[in-house]
Amino acid sequence: MLVVNPNLAFDRTLWVDAFEAGTVSRPTRVAVTAGGKGVNVVRTLRDLAVPARLVGLLPASDGAELIRLLEAEGVTLLPVPVEGSVRVATIVVEASGRATVLNEPGPVVGADEQRALLDTLDEALTGVSRPLVACSGSLPPGLPADTYGRVAELVHAHDGMVVVDAARDALAAALPFGPDVVTPNLAEAQGVLEGRSVELSHHDADLEAERAAALRAAHGLQERGAVRAIVTVGSHGVAWVDADGGEHWTAAHEVRQVNPIGAGDSFVGGLLRGLADEAGWEHAVRHAAAVAGAAVENPVAGYVDAARVAELLGAGALR
Question: What is the per-residue pLDDT across 34-69, written as a single tens digit (0 to 9) for each?
Answer: 999 999 999 999 999 999 999 999 999 999 999 999
The reported pLDDT for the residue numbered 316 is 59
Residue 91's region, left for phi above 0, alpha for psi from -120 to 50, else beta, is beta
Enter the CATH code of domain 2-315.
3.40.1190.20
Q: Are 221 and 229 in contact (CB under 8 A)?
A: yes
pLDDT at 299: 67
Q: Stretch 164-185: mean pLDDT, rounded?
A: 97
Out of 224-228, 254-258, 311-315, least confident range: 254-258
Please give the average per-residue pLDDT across 266-291, as a whole number: 95
Evaluate if residue 203 carries a pLDDT over 50: no
Specify the pLDDT at position 119: 98
Q: Which helix (H) or strand (E) holds 181?
A: strand 181-182
Average pLDDT over residues 125-131: 95
DSSP labels, 277-304: TTS-HHHHHHHHHHHHHHHTTSSSTT--
User: Whole-angstrom distance between the N-terminal and C-terminal Cα of the chain?
Assistant: 31
List phi, psi (to 5°) of 220. -60, -40
What is the mean pLDDT of the segment spanning 173-196?
A: 95
3-state helix/strand/coil string of 84-131 = CCCEEEEEEEECCCCEEEEECCCCCCCHHHHHHHHHHHHHHHCCCCCC
* Res 202: pLDDT: 42
What is the pLDDT of the chain when averaged over all its residues? 92
Cα 256 from Cα 65, distance rounded (Å): 33
The domain ranges of the chain are: 2-315
Pairing of strands 132-136, 99-103: unpaired
The answer to whether residue 201 scores a pLDDT higher than 50 is no
User: From CA 5, how far away is CA 89, in angstroms rounded?
Assistant: 14
The pTM (predicted TM-score) of the whole model is 0.90
In 3-state terms the chain splits into helix, strand, coil percentages (rounded to 5) of 40, 25, 40
CA atoms within a 13 Å half-sphere pointing along the CA-CB vector of 220: 19
